Chain A
Amino acid sequence: MSLNTKIDTETIERISGVNTRKCMKCGKCSATCPAFHEMDFHPHQFVAMVEKGDIEPLMKSKSIWNCLTCFACVQRCPRDVEPAKLVEAIRQAVIRQAGENHLKAEQIPEMLDSELPQQAIVSAFRKYKK
């Protein structure tokens, strides 16, 4: 089954609770993002692209998996736009579809080391798997 990318601005804004039109394009969210260099689209681009309805590239991006959910962009946005909520909504729009889990239980055993806390596994499943 292939990924359905027909999702509009309104749906993502409703799920995330974000109003993209509040953004003043200052770029502070991307400047503070600790995963900036590991992202193909940056937090401020999520805001601009969702506003335009250009959502398909975001659904196929590396950024939705590399966001650390650190809430730095949420805390530091001067306009309360809270870009990480868009990243989360789009990530969920992907993993909620059949066959789109980003992490499978079978992959876990080879990643384990004796120190890894359970918390890491449950958190990763929440982010990467329906």
Chain B
Amino acid sequence: MKYSYYPGCTLKTKAKELSDYAVAAAKVLGVELEEIKDWQCCGGVYSTSKDEIASKLSSVRALAQARDEGHDLMTLCSACHNVIKRVNEDMRGDENFRTKANNYMAPDMEYHGEANVVHYLEMLRDVVGFDEIKKKVVNPLTGRKIGAYYGCLLLRPGKVMEFDDPENPQILEDFIRAIGATPVLFEQRNECCGGYMTLNDKELAQKRSTAVVDSAVRNEADCLITACPLCRYNLEVNSETKLPVIYFTELLAEALGIKEVK
């Protein structure tokens, strides 16, 4: 199985390990991630305004490129996933947006939302399967109590993202079980970490991230996993309560026994 892979700006810089472990683990699972040529930054947040066109074109370009390469587009960062999936939905369902976007870009072949946007976790669940992953685990993380932090962007809005039950998700808990560890549920797992607020109102970002980590600590998690570099930053740097925060792909690589050889 092969995907057109969209890493995004942060996975090429501050969060390189999120991507490197993902690519290496995918190989072990028989999945190839081929980076999209000349991708551009998704912008980090999707604007719901119907007259906001130009800021969504980088997503359209990546989507059209995946379509041309004949693959689904794979994302890993939660923010890229949210932006690109929602723009793809607009290209499918919003005729005014689709016409304007195609007019702007004047591509050889118009894009109409043909590519599917697949998050790495969806690939693990729906294509490889957690049972299959379990069989490939050589180093089960037995005894580790892990809190899955979903945040906002993978789940909401549920009717577009269709990732999991937006109020009671379980994909990351199933992932944690597949690698031999124990999932810990906590109330704040799908509430906001503070996001970009760290650059506007630091106190609000600190309040939000501390609430998330406190909730995980109360439920006796010994670490948190995330798919988002900004969530990781908030939970690690802005939270006043400290708990290790790890990318889920790092644990996957560890369980598959390839952490050292990435």
A contacts, CB < 8 Å to B = 14-17, 34-35, 38, 65-66, 68-72, 74-75, 82, 84-85, 88-89, 92, 102-103, 108, 111, 113, 115-124, 126-128
Q: List chain B residues, Cβ under 8 A from A126.
A: 43-45, 47, 55
Known: A121-B199, A123-B230. A70 touches B48 (CB 8 A): no
Q: Is the interface of A mostly helix, strand, loop or mixed?
A: helix
Question: Once the chains are docked, how many angstroms separate the CA of A128 from the CA of B47?
Answer: 12
Q: Which residues of B contact A84 (CB under 8 A)?
A: 48
Tell whether B107 is near chain A: CB-to-CB under 8 Å: no
Which residues from chain B sit less than 8 Å from chain A, CB to CB?
8-10, 13-15, 41, 43-45, 47-52, 55, 77, 79, 152, 155-158, 166-167, 191-192, 194-201, 204, 208, 228-230, 232-233, 236-237
Number of A-B contacts (CB under 8 A): 134
Asked if A119 meets B156 with Cβ closer than 8 Å, knowing A34-B208, A113-B237, A124-B199, the reply is no
Report the Cα distance A121→B50, complex, angstroms: 23
Chain A residues contacting B167 (CB-CB under 8 Å) are: 75
Q: When the two chains form their complex, are residues A119 and B48 in contact, meaning their CB atoms are under 8 A apart?
A: no
List residues of chain A with CB within 8 A of the CB of B236: 115
Contact of A123 among B15, B155, B191, B196 (CB under 8 A): B196
Q: B47–A88 contact, CB under 8 A?
A: yes
Contacts of A128 in B (CB 8 A): 199-200
Contact between B230 and A120 (Cβ–Cβ < 8 Å)? yes
A69–B157 alpha-carbon span in the complex (Å): 11
- In-complex Cβ contact of A17 among B41, B44, B50 (8 A): B50
List chain A residues, Cβ under 8 A from B195. 68-70, 123
User: Do A66 and B49 have beta carbons less than 8 Å apart?
Assistant: no
B10–A117 contact, CB under 8 A? yes
State whether A75 and B166 are in contact (beta carbons under 8 Å apart), knowing that A66-B201, A120-B233 are contacts in the complex.
yes
Contact in complex: B233, A116 (CB < 8 Å): yes
Q: Which residues of A contact B43 (CB under 8 A)?
A: 122-123, 126
Q: Are A68 and B208 in contact (CB under 8 A)?
A: yes
Residues of B within 8 A of A71 (CB): 152, 156-157
Option from B15, B79, B204, B233 in Cβ contact (under 8 Å) with A66 = B204
Of A35, A74, A120, A127, most buried by chain B (CB within 10 Å of CB) is A120
Is B199 within 8 A of A66, CB to CB?
no
Q: Are A118 and B208 neighbours in the complex by a CB distance under 8 Å?
A: no
Interface centre among A71, A75, A111, A115 (most CB of B within 10 A): A71
Contacts A92-B47, A123-B230, A124-B199 hold; do A115 and B204 have CB atoms under 8 A apart? no
A120 and B196 contacting across the interface, CB-CB below 8 Å: yes
Please list 28 pairs of residues, one from A and one from B, whose beta carbons are closer than 8 Å in the complex, sorted by A's number: A17-B50, A38-B201, A66-B201, A66-B204, A69-B152, A70-B191, A71-B156, A74-B157, A75-B155, A84-B48, A88-B47, A88-B49, A89-B48, A108-B199, A113-B237, A115-B233, A117-B13, A117-B14, A117-B15, A118-B13, A118-B14, A119-B10, A120-B44, A120-B196, A120-B199, A123-B45, A124-B199, A128-B200
